[in-house]
A and B are shown apart, each in its own frame.
Chain A
Amino acid sequence: MTRTRTLRIDRIACTGQGLCAELLPELIDLDEWGYPIAGDPAVPDRLRTHARRAVAACPRLALHTDDDPA
């Protein structure tokens, strides 16, 4: 059984600093006001380290990854 990891953006905490899109452009785009949009929240295995870095870099800790049992 593999567990899939998904991105979750806390819209209330997010202030649109945009570090996540700099560190994880494969998964996160910015809207015209600089707030992140995650099209497909599933994190591929090859991007796990990058996702972890983006989570740690968020100044508001508004980006999370959740492990979902598949």
Chain B
Amino acid sequence: MTALALTGSPLWYASRASGTLALVLLTATVVLGIASGGRAAPRRLGRFEIGRLHRDLSLLTLVFLAVHVVTAVLDPFVHLGWAVSVVPFTASYRPLWLGLGTTAFDLLLAVLVTSALRLRLGVRRWKAVHWLAYAAWPFALFHGVGTGTDTRLSLQLWLYAGCLASVVGAVWWRLAKAGPGRVTGRLTAALAATAVPVVLTAFLAAGPLQPGWAQRAAATTILAGSGR
């Protein structure tokens, strides 16, 4: 049992809480997107209701994400600056792991803009960008695990496990219901759904759950010298 240290600014608490909520909401959005994309139709709900819920949850995700980013930048403990919110891997605080979050945010912004212009862009171009949402989710998850100061809390770990199980479950459910054809796509989905939990577990065991993670996370950069 890890005790919460009740120190730090309210902004810091707001940032952690909104980040965690954004991950949960993004997970729900992704699960709905995966589950409703196939042929299987829900019995009690209309398909349009699922579509609306997918859209509304995604917008709610972005609201909490905005709160998460703004509070993290304003928090005086880490001096981030506004550029960090859109330019990945340039932060002074845990540059690599924070950069994953920035990347996820950028991807979701691209998905938001193209979805708003969907009728003008046409389905092919919209869909091409919408695929990025599948990349944004694991980026957000690894960002949470690697940057989050709550990762060692057992409740937070259970929450990550729940998010992971929901998305992986949705992928397998969709694959089980899928018909023949698109073998490459289905194989890729199955591989990704297997790889993400394995990599995440290995990363957790090797990184955030080991002592001294804060020092190591602070030192990890993609480009030498990009972190101060």
B37 partner residues in chain A, CB cutoff 8 A? 59
Please give me the residue from chain A that is nearest to B126 by CB atom: A61
Main secondary structure of the interface of B (DSSP, over half): helix
Residue from B37, B47, B119 having most chain A Cβ neighbours under 10 A: B47
Binary CB contact string for chain B from 28 to 65 against chain A (1 if under 8 A, 0 otherwise) = 00000000010001000011100100000000000000
Output the least CB separation between A19 and chain B (Å).
5
- Residues in B with CB closer than 8 Å to A18 are 41, 47
A22 at the interface (CB under 8 A from B): yes
Q: Mark A33-69, 1 if CB is under 8 A from B, else 0.
A: 0000000000000000000000111011110000000
Q: Is A23 an interface residue (CB 8 A)?
A: yes
Given contacts A18-B41, A19-B51, contact A61 B119 (CB under 8 A): yes
Interface string of B119-130 (1 = CB under 8 A from A): 100110010000
Instruction: Say whether, besides A19-B48, A22-B46, A22-B48, A61 and B123 are in contact (CB < 8 Å).
Output: yes
**How many of chain A's residues have a CB under 8 angstroms from any CB in B?**
13
Which range contains the number of B residues in contact with the other chain?
Answer: 10 to 19
Instruction: Tell me the minimal C-beta distance from A7 to chain B in angstroms.
Output: 15
B contact residues around A62 at 8 Å (CB): 123
Chain A residue numbers with a CB within 8 Å of B119 are 55-56, 61
User: Is B16 close to A, CB under 8 A?
Assistant: no
Residue from B37, B41, B119, B122 having most chain A Cβ neighbours under 10 A:
B119
- Complex Cα distance, B51 from A8, in Å, reads 22
Q: Please, which residues of chain B bring their CB within 8 A of the CB of A55?
A: 119
A17 on the B face (CB < 8 A): yes
Q: Does B118 reach chain A (CB closer than 8 Å)?
A: yes
Contact with B along A1-43 (1 / 0, CB 8 A): 0000000000001000111001100000000000000000000
In the assembled complex, 24 residue pairs joining A and B whose CB atoms fall closer than 8 Å, in A order, are: A13-B123, A18-B41, A18-B47, A19-B46, A19-B47, A19-B48, A19-B51, A22-B46, A22-B47, A22-B48, A23-B48, A55-B119, A56-B118, A56-B119, A57-B48, A57-B51, A59-B37, A59-B51, A60-B123, A61-B118, A61-B122, A61-B123, A61-B126, A62-B123
Which chain A residues have a beta carbon within 8 Å of chain B's beta carbons? 13, 17-19, 22-23, 55-57, 59-62
Interface contacts beyond A56-B118, A61-B122: sample of 11 additional A-B pairs, CB < 8 Å, sorted by A: A18-B41, A18-B47, A19-B46, A19-B48, A19-B51, A22-B48, A56-B119, A57-B51, A59-B51, A61-B119, A62-B123
